[in-house]
Amino acid sequence: MITTIQFKTLDDLYQFYNDAIFNGELSECIVNMSRHGGAFGFFAANRWRGDGQEKKVVHEISINPDFMNREDRDWHSTLVHEMCHLWQEDFGRPSRGGYHNSQWADKMIQVGLMPSDTGEAGGKRTGQSVTHYIIPGGKFEQVFNTLSREDLQNLRLRYKPTLAAVPTRPIRIAEGDGDETEEPGDPDEGESKSGKRKKYTCGCGCNVWGKSGLVLRCGLCDTDFTEQ
């Protein structure tokens, strides 16, 4: 019963924003919770297949429960951010390797979220790692403000982690299979035997370091790591 209540809340939120912001055009999606490093959430295309006759394939959006103690509008905006990636997967032209392209950025602005690689005004709208901030008076804020206190209570998870993470800086987002992540400090990039180590970033925002020219693929989001 607890599991049913917990996950129905996420499904209800998805349906609410699909109807209110995307005019109900987004495909059905499995919305769940998973801990994924410093990620606030991620989108993964075509991750589930039905066992019925049609073998229907559906996308996945996952929200990190460790960051759900943020203000409601903040973690709701993470869900809508991931829904923009789903929209682009279904109706647009997502770039390979988790790159945030101009089509995705335009859709974000349309729904009231300003893409920014810094999470602040003036940041780059496109790139490998891009976050967002809520546009004052934009569509997302208008829709969120229609929710009454009772609505928000009904759309709030009944159970939250006992040890919640607290973000200390703007969120980074990297998708294609997409992901909203808090950017950790880079480890020591000392000299390797073949020279200076390079940073690689995948579609869900994970980072690894190694020599230049490596060919790497993330086992979580199934996108290639891109050398930075």
Instruction: Extract the tokens encoding 149.
Output: 């206190």
Contacts of 83 (CB under 8 A, 6+ apart): 14, 17, 18, 21, 22, 26, 61
Q: What is the pLDDT of residue 164?
A: 56
Contacts of 161 (CB under 8 A, 6+ apart): 65, 66, 68, 69
Whole-angstrom distance, CA of residue 72 vs CA of residue 88 = 25
Q: What is the pLDDT of residue 191?
A: 39
In a domain, 182, yes or no: no
Q: What is the pTM of this model?
A: 0.74
* 53 and 122 co-located in one domain: yes
Going by C-alpha positions, the residue among 183, 190, 171, 192 that lies closest to residue 78 is 171
* 95 and 34 co-located in one domain: yes
In a domain, 178, yes or no: no
* 161 and 196 co-located in one domain: no
Selected residue with higher pLDDT from 203 and 11 = 11
DSSP H or E run through 172: strand 171-173
Q: Is the pLDDT of residue 175 over 50?
A: no
Whole-angstrom distance, CA of residue 228 vs CA of residue 226 = 6
* 139 and 33 co-located in one domain: yes
In a domain, 143, yes or no: yes
Tally of domains within the chain: 2
Q: Is the pLDDT of residue 51 over 90?
A: no
* 44 and 113 co-located in one domain: yes
Over residues 72-78, mean pLDDT? 94
* 92 and 197 co-located in one domain: no
